[in-house]
Structure formats: structure tokens, C-alpha cells
Structure 1
Amino acid sequence: METFESLVRAEFAPKNTYLNTASSGLLPARTVTAMQRAVRLRAEGGSLDPLFEDVEAARAAFARLAGVPVHRVAVGPSVAAQTGLIAASLPAGAEVLTAEDDFTSVINQFHVRGDLKMRIVPLERLAESVRPGTALVAVSAAQSADGRVADLPALREAARTHGTRTYIDFSQAAGWLPIDADLYDFTVSTTFKWLLGPHGAAFLVVPEDFGGLTPLLAGWVAAEDPWASCYGPVAELAHSARRFDVSPALGVHSGLRASLELLEELGVDTVRAHDLALAERFRAGLARLGHEPQPAPDSAIVSVPGLGARQPALSAAGIQVSDRAGNLRASFHLYNTAQDVDRLLDALDG
């Protein structure tokens, strides 16, 4: 029986010390193989049916990770596009509550409406700031800039008390933080970070009744019978969340299917324990060096104020991290090791 370590070693062979999953995850070997197969099929003129089957298999795999029935999962190109659907569903004057400095893709579409009442509060005050009349609260489960994890149980309780809908972006959490999408009205996640997929896909989870969303981006793939709906207006939208699909990036989902299957084999709980142990090792090492990271316990993302300027030199030395608003951001995932952490600490010490 394969172990966690043997599975990971078989799939990943980075050429550097890669501690930048919060920007983009590494592709497993099986994912690269699946995408190459899809490209060859396109080049050789084969039937595209297997590629459409990969879309559905990826949708189903994400549904399992998210803990919801597959008919509640829509396929789209990005978080920004999915957020646009949520923003378009709100009536003029509706109040939307967001966290300070959250990632642009989960909040900007509400701002550009121009006719919504926007309230922005510190992440730590988000739950207590929900009030009667708040139509929607939108927030990332884990913050891109510094890894802070939102108090989602408190937010759910506040939303339930005041009849407020919730829209949670799991882009910086899905893959290392367990998801229970059924606890929220809407959830979204891109797939090229912790889910280890290629760029070009994002999943939106909607309620059974679709939550009042209008399928503004619907084309032929959003029909109940897509191949009978290629011309003229769609006569019958899909009875599932597929009505919100955007024409999928064929080949991308072939790779994504393989990536999600790997995560299922490894188990998100196991990945979480691995990632958090490495993040804690880094925090302990920073303390020995006299550095204090942003407070983000139980997060796979560690952000260190004042060290962002070190990023170019670290990159030149083969250590990939990010500079975010002057902070050095390191993010730890399943392919990272204690040796990776120690190499970064040694470089910072030097």
C-alpha cells in the first residue's frame, strides 16, 4: 500500500524550493500526462467526447471534496466570473458586507455595480458586523495576503440570526482545509492553487433552488440537452447547477480531474496535518531569528512583515515565495518538506 510520502514522491519533482502554492500550485505528474493526452487527441483529430467526460468527472470529484451533490456544482473559468453572477443577483440598494483587503476577485464585482451599499470591516469583526438588512456577506475562507482563516462558524451563526446570505471563497483553502459547502449559500474556488490543477477552471456551489441566480453567462453547454441547443435561444436550461456553466476549457479539466483524484487518494485531513506542521516549523524558526509573522494560527500560509523585499534574492537562490504588500509570504503544501522550510530559514538568517 502506497504511503503519503511515496504517492507525493511519485507525482512531484520540483527543480527548486517551491513555497508559493498561494500563488499557484505545482502540477502532479499524472495531471501533466492527462493534459498531454488531451492535446494529442486534439492534434490527431479524435473525438472530443473523452474531454467532455473529464469535465463531468472533475465536477463530481470537486463535489465530493465539497461535500455536496454534484448537481449543485457549476463549472466556470474563474472566481471573478462566478462572483459576477452573485453580484448580478442582488437588488439595487442591497447591503453587502466584506472584509478589509480581501482578494479582489471575491469583492470587486459588488463594488463595480455602483448601486449596492458596501460595508468593509476588519476580518476579525466580520461576524459581529452582520446586522438586520445585510443581504450578503462575501469573504475568503483564508486570506490571500496573510493566511488568516475566517471564523466561519461565527459567521454562519450571525448570518442565520439576521437572514443574511453567505458567499465563501475557498480558493486559498480548498485542498488543505476541509470544505463543507452545504453550510453556506454559495461557495466558490479556483483550482490552480491548493487543488493542484491547471489555470482556467473554478467551481461554484449553489443552493438546491439556485439562490435566485440568473444564468447570465449561459450558452449551449448550460442547456438540459446541450447538443440540441447549439442554435437560437436555449429552450430549456439544465435542471442542475450546470445552467450556470460557461463553456469549459477542454484539456484543462482533463488535468484537473487527475489532480482532484490525487487529493482524494491522499485525503484532505492528511494534507492539512502535513501543511500545518510545516507552517508551524517555519513560525518557530522565525521566532528564533527574531521575526514575528502576521497572526494566522492554523493556516498553511505564513506572512512576515517587512521581509517582502527579500523575495527577488530568494528567487534568484531558487527559493520561490511571494512579496505581498511588503510582506514575505510563504505557503506550504503536500510536496514541501522540513528541508524546504529549513532552507528558507537559513536564507533569511544569512
Structure 2
Amino acid sequence: METFESLVRAEFNPKTVYLNTASTGLLPARTVAALAEAARMRAEGRPLGPLHADVEAARAAFARLAGVPVERVAAGSSVAAYTGLVAASLPAGAEVLTAEDDFTSVVNPFHTRGDLKVRIVPLERLAESVRPGTALVAVSAAQSADGRIADLPALREAAREHGARTYIDFSQAGAWLPMEADAYDFTVTVCYKWLMGPHGAGFLVVPEDFGGLLPLLAGWVAGENPWDSCYGPVAELAHSARRFDLPPALFSFAGLRRSLELLEELGVDAVRAHDLALADRFRTGLAGLGHAPVPAPGSAIVSVPGLGHRQPELSEAGIEVSDRAGNLRASFHLYNTPEDVDRLLDALSA
């Protein structure tokens, strides 16, 4: 029987100490093989039907991960596109509540609408700032810059009390923080970070009644029968969230299908325990070096103020982290080890 460690060793062989999943996740070997096979199919002129089947398999796997029926999952490519779709559904003058310094793709489309009231508050005050008249609360489950986790239970309760909808981005938390997408009106996730897929694939989860979204981006793939919807107006939109699909990057979904299969084999609970143990090991080591990270308990992302300038020298030493607003950001995922953590700590102590 394969163990967590043996499965991971079979899929990953990084050539660096890679602690930068919050920027881009590593691709499993099976995903790389699927990408190569997809490219061969295209190069050899073979029918691409299997690649379209990969889109549906990836959608189904993501639905299981998110805890929702597959009929509520739309396949696309970017957070910004789906934020724009949600923004377009709001009436003029609607109030949107967002967190200070959240990732641009989560918030900017609400600003570019020009006729919405966008209110910005510190992340820690988000739930208490929901008020009568708030139409939507939009926030990342985990902050890109520093890993802080939104108080989602409190936010759900406040939104329910005041009749506000919720839009949660799980791009920085998809494999280590339970999604529970059914608890929110809309969730969005890109898959090239913690879900370890190629760039160009993402998902939107919508309510059963679609939450007032209009299929403004609908093309032929949004039809109930896509291959009968290639010319002229779509006669019948998909009865499911597929009506919000964007034309799929077929190679990306072919690879993503295998990445999600690996996550299901490993188990999200095991991945979460692994990731958080490494992050806590790093936090403990930082205290011994006299450094205090941004408080983000329970997060797989650790951000250390004042050390961002060391990113280039760490990269030269074969340790990949990020510099975010002057902070050194390290993010720990299933392919990392305690030895990786200790090597980073040793480098920082020098």
C-alpha cells in the first residue's frame, strides 16, 4: 500500500528548495505526462474528444473537493473574469464590502464598474462591517500577501443576518483549507497554485438558482448541447453552471485532471496536516532567530516583515520564496519536507 510519502516521492523531484506554492505550485509527474500526451495528440492530428472529457473529469473532481454538486461548477480560467461576471450582476449603487489590500483580481472589477459603492475595511473587521444594505462581501479565504485567513464562519453569519451575498476566492487555500463552497453564494479558484495544475484553469461555484448571474461571457461551450451551439445565438443555455463556462484551455484541463486525482489519492486532510506542520515548524524556528511573522495561525503561508530583500540571495542559494511588499513569504505544500524548512532557517540565520 502506497503511503503519503511514497506517493509524493513518485510525483515530485524538485531541483530547488521550493517554498513558493503561493506563487505557482509544482506539477506532478502524471500531470506533466498528460500535458505531453495532449500536445502529441494535437501534433499528430488525432481527435481531441478525450481532452474535452478531461474538462468534465476535472470539473467533477473539483466539485468533490469543494463539496458541491457538479452542476454548480463552471469551468474557466481566471479570478478576474469571474469577479467581473459577479460585479456585472449587481445593480447600480450596490454596496460591495472588501478587505484592505486583498488580491487585485478579487476586488478591482467592482471598482471598474464605476457605479458601485465599494467599501474597504481591514480583514479583521470584515464580518463586523457587514451592515444593512451591503449587497455583497468579496474576500480571499487566505490573503496572498501574508497568509492571513478570513474569519469565514463569522462572515457567513453576518452576511446571513443582513441579507448580503458572499464571494470567496479560494485560490490561496484550495488544498489546505476546507472549501465548504456550499456555505457561500459564490466561490472562485484558480488551479495553478495549491491545486498544482497548469496555468489557465479555474472554477466558479454558483448557487443552484445562479444567484442572479447573467451569462454575459457565454459562447458555444455554454450551450446545453455545445456542439449544436457553434453558429448564431445559443438556442438553449446549459441548465447547469456550465452556462458560465469559458472556452477551456484543453491542455491545462488535461493536466489538471491528473493533479486533482493525486490530491484525492493523498486526501485533503493529510495534505492540510502536512502543510500546516511545516508552516508551524518555520514559525517556531523564526522565533528562535528573533523574527516575528505576520500573525496567521492555521495558515500554510508564512510572511516575515523586513526580510523580503533577502529573496534574491536565497534564490541564488537554491531556495525559492517570494518578496511581497517587503515581506519574505514562504509557503509550504505536500512536496516540502522538514529539511526544506531547516535549510531556509539556516540560510536566514547566516
TM over 0.5: yes
Aligned to 1:297, what secondary structure does the other structure show? coil
1:7 maps to which residue? 7
Aligned to 2:10, what secondary structure does the other structure show? helix
How far the C-alpha of 1:290 sits from its partner, in A, is 0.3
- Output the CA distance in 1 between the equivalents of 2:2 and 2:179: 25
- Output the CA distance in 1 between the equivalents of 2:293 and 2:227: 53
**1:1-350 to 2 correspondence within 5 Å?**
1-350=1-350
- Output the CA distance in 2 between the equivalents of 1:320 and 1:109: 31
- Output the CA distance in 2 between the equivalents of 1:54 and 1:82: 21
Match for 1:250: what amino acid?
L
Match for 2:261: what amino acid?
E
How far the C-alpha of 1:155 sits from its partner, in A, is 0.2
- Output the CA distance in 2 between the equivalents of 1:339 and 1:36: 32
How far the C-alpha of 1:335 sits from its partner, in A, is 0.2
- Output the CA distance in 2 between the equivalents of 1:198 and 1:40: 17
Identity %: 82
- Output the CA distance in 1 between the equivalents of 2:67 and 2:39: 31
How far the C-alpha of 1:132 sits from its partner, in A, is 0.2
Match for 1:119: what amino acid?
R
Aligned to 2:330, what secondary structure does the other structure show? strand
- Output the CA distance in 2 between the equivalents of 1:215 and 1:77: 15
- Output the CA distance in 1 between the equivalents of 2:134 and 2:114: 17
How far the C-alpha of 1:176 sits from its partner, in A, is 1.1
- Output the CA distance in 2 between the equivalents of 1:268 and 1:229: 38
Q: Deviations over 1:18-42 (max 9, x none)?
A: 0000000000000000111100000
Q: Deviations over 1:186-212 (max 9, x none)?
A: 000000000000000110000000000
Match for 1:149: what amino acid?
I
How far the C-alpha of 1:329 sits from its partner, in A, is 0.1
Aligned to 1:46, what secondary structure does the other structure show? coil
Q: Deviations over 1:157-211 (max 9, x none)?
A: 0000000000000000001111110000000000000000000011000000000
- Output the CA distance in 1 between the equivalents of 2:30 and 2:220: 31
Match for 2:274: what amino acid?
H
- Output the CA distance in 1 between the equivalents of 2:290 and 2:348: 11
Give the number of aligned pairs. Answer: 350
- Output the CA distance in 2 between the equivalents of 1:181 and 1:174: 11
- Output the CA distance in 2 between the equivalents of 1:180 and 1:160: 16
RMSD: 0.4
Match for 2:231: what amino acid?
Y
- Output the CA distance in 2 between the equivalents of 1:117 and 1:83: 16
Ranges in structure 2 where 5+ consecutive residues have no aligned partner: none
Q: Deviations over 1:122-149 (max 9, x none)?
A: 0000000000000000000000000000
How far the C-alpha of 1:218 sits from its partner, in A, is 0.5
How far the C-alpha of 1:251 sits from its partner, in A, is 1.1
